[in-house]
Amino acid sequence: MYKTNSKEINIGEIIKPYLLKWWWFLLSIFIMLVLAVLYIKSVAPVYNLQSSVLIKDAKKMSSASGDFGVLQSLGGLSSMGTNSIENEIEIFKSKKIVGDVLRKQNLQTSLYIKKGLYNLELYGKSAPIKINIVNEKEVDKGPEKPIKIRIKGDSFFLSSDEWDNEIKGQYNHTVSLPFANIIITKNKDFKATSLKKLDQNNLSFTYSTFEATIDNYQEALKVDLVEREATVISLAIASENTEKGKEFLNNIVGEYNLDAINDKNRESVNTTKFIDDRIVIISKELGDVENKKENYKSQNNIVDLQTEARINLQTKEVTKSKLLTLGTQLELQNILLNYVNKKENKDVLPVNIGIENGDAAKSILDYNMLVVRRNQLLQNATSDNPMVKEVDAQIQAMKSSIRESLSKSITAVSLAKNAAESELDKSEVKIGSIPSQEKVFRNIERQQQLKESLYLLLLQKREEAAISMAITVEKARVVDAAYVAKQLVAPQKKIILLIAVLIGLLLPAVYIYLKTLLNNTITNKDDVAKLSSTKVLVELPHLNRNDNDTVQANDLSPLAEAFRILITNFKFLLPKKESAKIVYVTSTVKGEGKTFVSVNLALTLATPNQRVLLIGADIRNPQLQRYNIEKKNAQGLTDFLYNPDIDLKEIMHQSKRNNNCDVIFSGTIPPNPTELLSNGNFKKLLDVFEDQYEYIIVDTAPIMLVTDTLLYSEYSDIVLYVLRSEVSQKEFVNFSNNLIEDQKIKNVGFVINDVSAENFGYGNKYGYGYHATEKNWFQKLISKLF
């Protein structure tokens, strides 16, 4: 019963959803083009202003630009960088050049007037007023929204969405704004004809800080080489006002030339002044060289440098030996003094350690003898013995004498050492000065030669600088003055319209793709055929709002044709029998159109030679009464199931739409529908009418929601399983497959309801022949839209 998905790629199936919705693409493109045109109309045109200049001998300029190059041969200046064409490009975009132009043109503010859907920028002769910035105020940020100007006589009123109140001002008077002080004046060059048909009271202006304005114009200004090997530079800027853009580019070139001339003249003047000062200095220095040499020899008492060097070397060696001896004595005496201070009266002091102090050595011997005597007395007496105390006093006095002698000796040795060190320093200074004195003589001779050469060079360079300053010309020659390029910067109409068309194609394509990708419902017989081997008997067309939802007598509508096709197809499935053919119409869930199918099938089958009975068996949620509101509370099937002895005429009703069709409505909604349907009375009802009608159509309950239909499914000759296009899920087909495979329903045929015209399988279209007319593409589009 199940169908496996084919792995073959069917291009037709892939593009079919897009072709079926062709009018979506037309509508989407149309809407996008309308929006694109509105956008083009709402954007102020931005023009591309261009200019080009020739930088004279840019590639041949030396490493020090202008006349400063006259100094490059003076030494140390040849590595100061290059003035290549790339450097000139950066100078054009520098803050100094751009800032000077902005001050000159007063470009911190931009004046606008409302024109159609956009604001037109005014400048020069087209601006009725001029806005001058007196000074900026220290604020965190400037205004983000435009400031509106309302002119009234000689006064004006300024307002902004960012302010609470209007600010009143007068021409030629300072007006204090939250971000700056400004003065607004009338433009003497204003031509009223330039604003013909525009409301001059609908003015506004924007403001930005000077630094922000410089940054914006630096970013907007494009400077580049025309060709890699050329020295011609192109300048370009995008501007909403052509006069403003032209003036800006021309002023950039003018400021560049003025700055270059000022730098060149400043360098030439400074160079000449520097050379003149150096000539005076060098002339004086050249005459002083010989005097310097003579004075140096007399001032330093120099006779024979070699003899003086030998004597000073001998003196140095003797002094170094003396310093060594004095240093040793000083160290020994310091050690001995420290030792004396640390020892007690019972300890002897060291002798013969090499000190050259006779008094101290004799005192140490006497001290040691007293210590020995004291130790001998202590062998036979105590420390309190008078003799021991007397010896202790002598020892203490002798220790004090030793300290005093050592201290005096240390002081004397230190003085002698300092004197020797001073003498050594003098000797070393004299020895060290001899090479420097010889060096001085050589330097004096070198200076004399250098001063002579430099003096002659400066005289030559002074003449060159004077000549160069006399012939100063502009650095940049204008090749093309500022002009407006043919191509607009914005809005680029062709690109915008092309993007609009692409978006118009993309939006419905993406929507259809996502809808197809995420779609889990069936649309036509092809979808069902992929999921089930059960035959699709018919595709019923979608009804428009004004279409009749029931088949009428002698009806030639697509709906009637569809039900005739259904009848033709399901007759091949019916068994051959003399009694009435029992046709069940069911669905998976409610809302799929089974009652609609039941009613119209009964009306189509009913003819004078072929009577039909329609039974409403959906007793839980009866829908058959929708086609005859008057019978909403009429007795019907449930009343017979509850009481089979009821008079059948009470539950049978003739259809108003077709006299050959009788209807048994569902009747009263029972509390126990399952018990009623399974009590056997439903079979009795069918048996009663089996010989009275050619067809018995049973509108059953949805088969997934309740089990009612399965309770009496065995009595059917054929089951019409209704699926609704773009509503019934693909899982419903799988559900029906399981029912068929388990033989819970037999002899089944699918009926696909509410299929839109573009979804009919195999290109099937109803309405051919029988007075049907084919619509052209325009009529089809209008019918789709309206």
The SS3 assignment for 185 reads strand
Q: Where is average pLDDT lowest: 335-339, 395-399, 755-759, 782-786? A: 782-786
- What's the pLDDT at 79? 36
> Which pLDDT belongs to residue 410?
77
Mean pLDDT for the chain overall:
82
pLDDT of residue 353: 64
Read off the pLDDT band of 321 (50, 70, 90): confident
Domains of the chain by residue range: 11-43+495-518, 47-265, 305-427, 525-785
> What backbone phi and psi angles, to 5 degrees, belong to 159?
-145, 155
Q: Which residue has the higher pLDDT, 589 or 82?
A: 589
Give the residue, 361 or 779, on which the prediction is more confident: 361
Rounded mean pLDDT of 97-119?
89
Q: Report d(CA 309, CA 307) in Å as an integer.
A: 5
Stretch 368-382: mean pLDDT:
72
Average pLDDT in the 300-314 region?
Answer: 66
- The predicted pLDDT at position 771 comes to 43
The Cα 133–Cα 207 span in angstroms is 10
H helix and E strand count, the chain: 20, 21
Q: How far apart are CA 454 and CA 278, in angstroms?
A: 9
CA angle in degrees (0–180, nearest 5) for 369-371-375: 115
Query: Which whole number is the average pLDDT over 184-211?
Result: 85
Match 């108003």 to its residue by tokens. 656
What pLDDT score does 761 carry?
Answer: 54
Please state whether 544 falls in left (phi above 0), alpha (psi between -120 and 50) or beta. beta
Per-residue pLDDT, 597: 95
Task: Give the mean pLDDT of 206-212.
Answer: 90
State phi, psi for 636 to the nearest 5 degrees. -160, -140
**φ, ψ for residue 583, nearest 5 deg:** -115, 120
pLDDT greater than 60 at residue 770: no
Higher-confidence position of 196 and 666: 666
**Secondary structure class of 72 (helix, strand, coil):** helix
Three-point CA angle 297, 303, 304, nearest 5°? 120
pLDDT in the model for residue 221:
93
In SS3 terms, 387-448 reads as HHHHHHHHHHHHHHHHHHHHHHHHHHHHHHHHHHHHHHHHHHHHHHHHHHHHHHHHHHHHHH
pLDDT band at 548 (very low <50, low <70, confident <90, very high): confident
Q: What is the pLDDT of residue 736?
A: 94
- Min mean pLDDT across 27-41, 158-172, 262-276 is at 262-276
Cα dihedral 376, 381, 382, 384 sign: negative
With bands split at pLDDT 50, 70 and 90, how would you rate the model's confidence at 117? confident
Tokens of 251: 């002023």
Neighbours of 277 (CB within 10 A): 11
More confident residue, 7 or 447: 447
- Give me the pLDDT at residue 230, please: 82
Q: Half-sphere exposure of residue 33, counting CA atoms within 13 Å on the CB side?
A: 10
Q: pLDDT per residue over 410-425, tens digit each? A: 787 778 777 777 776 7
Burial zone of 764 (CB within 10 Å; 0-12 exposed, 13-18 middle, 19+ buried) = middle
Measured distance CA(596)–CA(626) in Å, rounded: 10
Among 91-100, 431-440, 714-723, which stretch is predicted with the lowest mean pLDDT? 431-440
* Residue 75 clears pLDDT 70, i.e. is over it: no
Q: What is the pLDDT of residue 301?
A: 64
| 354 CB-near residues (< 8 Å, 6+ apart) | 328, 332
Topology annotation, domain 525-785: Rossmann fold (3.40.50)
Q: Of residues 601 and 355, which shows the higher confidence score? A: 601
Provide the whole-model pTM: 0.56
What's 441-465 look like in SS3? Answer: HHHHHHHHHHHHHHHHHHHHHHHHH
Q: Is the CB of residue 537 less than 8 Å from the CB of residue 566?
A: yes
Beta bridge partner(s), residue 723: 752
Confidence of residue 63 (pLDDT cuts 50, 70, 90): very low
Query: Rounded mean pLDDT of 350-361?
Result: 66
Cβ neighbours around 394 below 10 Å, total: 16
pLDDT at 64 over 80: no
**Mean per-residue pLDDT for 708-716?**
92
Percentage with pLDDT > 90 across the chain = 35
Q: Does the pLDDT value for residue 612 go beyond 90?
A: yes
pLDDT for res 348: 67
Predicted local distance difference test score (pLDDT) of residue 196 = 78
Token pair in block for residue 224: 């580049």
Residue 516 pLDDT > 50, yes or no? yes
DSSP 514-579: HHHHH--B--SHHHHHHHB-SPEEEEEEPP-TTS-SSPPTT--SHHHHHHHHHHHHHHTTS---SS
Structure tokens at 553: 């007598």
pLDDT tens digits along 727-739: 999 999 999 999 9
Residue 311 makes CB contacts below 8 A (sequence gap 6+) with: none
Q: What is the DSSP string of 277-330?
A: HHHHHHHHHHHHHHHHHHHHHHHTT-S-HHHHHHHHHHHHHHHHHHHHHHHHHH
> Out of 23-27, 294-298, 538-542, 713-717, which region has the weakest mean confidence (pLDDT)?
294-298
- Residue 264's Cβ-side half-sphere holds a number of Cα atoms within 13 Å equal to 20
Pick the closest to residue 235 from 225, 243, 244 (CA basis): 225
**pLDDT higher for 629 or 679?**
679
Residue 313 predicted with pLDDT over 70: yes
Place of tokens 């020069």: 124
pLDDT of residue 236: 94
E strand segments, 14-103:
47-55
Q: Which of 468, 525, 65 is nearest to 275 (CA)?
A: 468
Residue 358, pLDDT score: 65
